[in-house]
Structures are given as C-alpha cells and as structure tokens.
Amino acid sequence: MASPLESCWQYLVTHFSDFQLATLGTFIIHESVFFLSGLPSILFERSGLFSKYKIQKKYNTPAAQERCITRLILYHLCVNLPVMLVSYPAFRYMGMRSSLPLPPWSVILSQVLFYFILEDFVFYWGHRVLHTKWLYKHVHSVHHEYATPFGLTSEYAHPAEILFLGFATILGPALTGPHLFTLWLWVILRVMETVEAHSGYHFPCSLSNFLPLYGGADFHDYHHRLLYTKSGNYASTFVYMDWLFGTDEGYRKLKAIEKENKDSVEIY
Ligand SMILES: [Zn+2]
Ligand SMILES: [Zn+2]
C-alpha cells in the first residue's frame, strides 16, 4: 500500500508534467520556504522581541528591510526562475526523475548529506575568491551591504554571485541525478540553513549548540560584521573548512576572550 507521502506524490505527477514540477514547482517551493523562514527575524527586529538573543545590538530600519525584499523579488524572477527553466534539460540528462516509487530514505538522506558537504567545499573556495579586492569591490560587496544581517539577506547578492551560489547548490544534484523529491528536500534544508545563518539571532535552541561541526548564525554573523579583509569564516554550513585552512583564527580568539570574560564574571 502506498504511504501518505507517496499518495501526495502520485497526485502531483498525475496532475503536473515533469517539466512543470521540476521548474515552477521548485521555484514555488524555494520562494515559500525562503520568505516564510526569513519572516521571523524581520518581525523580531521590528518588535524588539528576543533582543536578548540578538547577536549584534544594531537594528535594520524597515526601509532597509524593504529595499532588500524588493531587490530579492526582482532577482528571483529575473535570475533564479530563468536559470531553473534553462537548466531543466541538463538535469534530465543527468538522470533526474519524478516518477514513483520514491527512493528509500537511506538514499535520500545520504545524497542530501553529500550535497551539503560538496556545497560547503565549493562555497568556501568561491567565497574566498569573492573576497579578493576586485571581485569584492564589484560583486561581493553587494551581499555585505548588510553588516547586520537578517534572514532574507542570505540571498541578497549581485546577480553574478547568485549564479555562483546557484552553481554550488545544484552541483551535487547535477552529479548524482536524484529523484525530484530529494532535490526539493535539499532545496528546503539548504534555504533554511542559510536563512538561519543570516538571521542575526543565536538562541539556546539553535542547531549550532547541538551539532558540533555546524556553523549557524553566530559563525556567519561574525563574517558580516568585520571588514572584508579581516572577516574569515567563509564556509556556508560547517566550521571545519575554516578551521582546516586557518581562516577562523579571529573568530576563535574572540570566542576564547568571551569565554574568559564569562568565566571571570562567574568567579567573582
Ligand atoms: Zn563574504
Ligand atoms: Zn552572508
């Protein structure tokens, strides 16, 4: 008997074509997850809620938030959507399918884990290149316009950088030819991860408190609030690339000082 998930999938594949699901379906899922997961940090900033957990004391003005949202909608329609439409034949060629049955969870989860590791690796090196003088000035400085990030700034970037980020995100799926369901799960988790990393809030329940190699908001916020030549913390998801290549030294020193201050306050 088909599981509830397979029944839902059956509905989708009988009512929509493979092309519609892979392009418009992926676009709608991306937009929904991105704007919904980005909404809380905007509301927290505006209301002052959870200010105790805000990493920086600075707040973005509503005008600055709205400028980010307007630009994002424009880029998503004029860059992301056309890229999704154009890259469909390539995905089909690489073996992507949407038909039933769905792959076993062991395959889905191992592929998604592989995508996270590969994306983090590609992103790390690409991001370091983006921090060289010319590319920073002409491309990456757009993403750094927000030194105090909030969730939606995660995709606020120059169109050339959006293409690079897109490449890093779709490289894993392009290499493995996954089921469309796996691709959607990857998109959902990757979007939620990058939105959280830019949220500007570090909660006691934040994932980075429980997953040792996971970077999270505190790790990436540091990257945004420092000058582009001094920031470090270039990886997107994990902390080990920066640790391996020594680009997290400043961040580690800061954490050590913070811990020392906290310990001395507790002693006295
Ligand atoms: Zn950067
Ligand atoms: Zn960022």
Ligand nearest to the CA of 221: 2
Structural domain span for residue 181: 4-267
User: Which residue from 213, 208, 203 is spatially nearest to 242, judged by alpha carbons?
Assistant: 213
In eight-state DSSP terms, residue 238 is B
pLDDT at 265: 67
pLDDT at 268: 59
Q: Is the pLDDT score of 108 beyond 70?
A: yes
Alpha-carbon span 196 to 199, nearest angstrom: 5
Alpha-carbon span 217 to 220, nearest angstrom: 5
Neighbour count for residue 52 (Cβ, 10 Å) = 7
Ligand nearest to the CA of 217: 2
Ligand 1 midpoint to CA 222 (Å): 10
| Amino acid present at 202 | H
Tell me if residue 97 falls in helix, strand or coil: strand
pLDDT at 165: 83
User: Which residue from 259, 68, 31, 247 is spatially nearest to 148, judged by alpha carbons?
Assistant: 68
Query: Domain count of the chain?
Result: 1
- Residues β-bridged to residue 141: none
Q: Which residue has the higher pLDDT, 264 or 140?
A: 140
pLDDT at 211: 95
State whether the Cα torsion 131-55-44-195 is positive or negative. positive
pLDDT at 263: 76
The pLDDT tens digits of the residues spanning 207-260 come to 999 999 999 999 999 999 987 777 899 999 999 999 999 999 999 999 999 888
Element (H, E) at 74: helix 62-75
The pLDDT tens digits of the residues spanning 147-193 come to 999 999 999 999 999 998 889 999 999 999 999 999 999 999 999 99
**Mean of pLDDT values over 47-73:** 96
Bond preceding residue 101 cis, omega within 30 of 0: yes
Ligand 1 midpoint to CA 105 (Å): 34
Retrieve residue 152's tokens.
Answer: 């939606």
Ligand 1 midpoint to CA 18 (Å): 36
pLDDT at 226: 87
Ligand nearest to the CA of 236: 2
